[in-house]
Amino acid sequence: MKVSVLRIGHRLVRDDRITTHAALVSRALGSDKIYMTEVDHSINETLEEIAKRWGGKYDFAIEIIEDWRKVIKDWKKEGGKVVLLTMYGINIDDRINQLRKEDRVLVIIGAEKVPREIYDLADYNIAIGNQPHSEIAALAIFLDRIFSGKELKKDFRGAKLKIIPMVKGKMVKEMENNV
Ligand code: SAM
């Protein structure tokens, strides 16, 4: 299954770190792309640097967009499904079996309150519990549920550095051929 992320909104300066985290979590937990509105273009360099060191250069992309309505409409026109993560939606556990059967999912997270029309544009309004929390936490749990935890063992090709998991301490191996 292919999962892309659409993040709507960004509160200038205040959200810089959260925005970077939305991209990092999308990449690390198995999504192939994040569309973002209103962000500083330096986020592209940050993610390029991460991919150079830790791999997956061709597995993940960031696209800075102006028109999120067009992204949603094009996605649907091409047969993909749209999921809005919202505390007002249906609990993920009550829709996960259905969601796992979809081929392509665009998952939308908000930096704050999202425009009302998105609730109607989305095919699924999904809650990661019905309490308010964070778009990063909601996204991480959504990706983990949809990929059944398998994304945590994903191999990122072309890495310069690879972590050798240790019971204690840190070990990082430099890869000779970036494989
Ligand atoms: N009260 C706000 C609302 O109207 O959704 C919460 C905004 S919250 C700071 C930012 C984003 O986090 C939301 O747009 C939504 O995508 C996500 N979010 C927060 N809590 C969530 C939950 N329980 N389930 C799913 N998504 C959640």
The side-by-side arrangement of strands in the sheet containing 33-37 is 61-65, 33-37, 2-8, 104-110, 81-91, 124-127
Q: What is the pLDDT of residue 17?
A: 86
Q: What is the mean pLDDT of residues 143-170?
A: 96
- Structural domains of the chain, ranges and CATH numbers in brackets: 2-174 (3.40.1280.10)
The whole-number pLDDT of residue 137 equals: 98
Pocket test for ligand 1, best of 21, 25, 34, 87 (most atoms within 8 A of CB): 87
- How confident is residue 56, by pLDDT bands cut at 50, 70 and 90? very high
Q: What are the tens digits of pLDDT across the range 81-121?
A: 999 999 999 999 999 999 999 999 999 999 888 999 999 99
Q: Which residues line ligand 1 (CB under 6 A)?
A: 85-87, 109-110, 112-114, 127-129, 131-135, 138
Indicate the pLDDT class of residue 11, thresholds 50, 70 and 90: low
Which atom of ligand 1 is the closest one to the Cα of 132?
20
Backbone φ/ψ region at 65: left (φ over 0), alpha (ψ -120 to 50), beta: beta
Mean of all residue pLDDT scores within the chain: 93
Q: Which residue has the higher pLDDT, 38 or 49?
A: 49
pLDDT at 112: 82
CA dihedral 4, 113, 69, 81 (to 10 degrees): 40
Read off the pLDDT of each residue in 144-173 and give the average, rounded to a whole number. 96
pTM reported for the whole predicted model: 0.94
Res 16: pLDDT: 79
68: pLDDT strictly greater than 70? yes
pLDDT over threshold 60, residue 179: no
Once rounded to an integer, what is the mean pLDDT over residues 19-31? 96
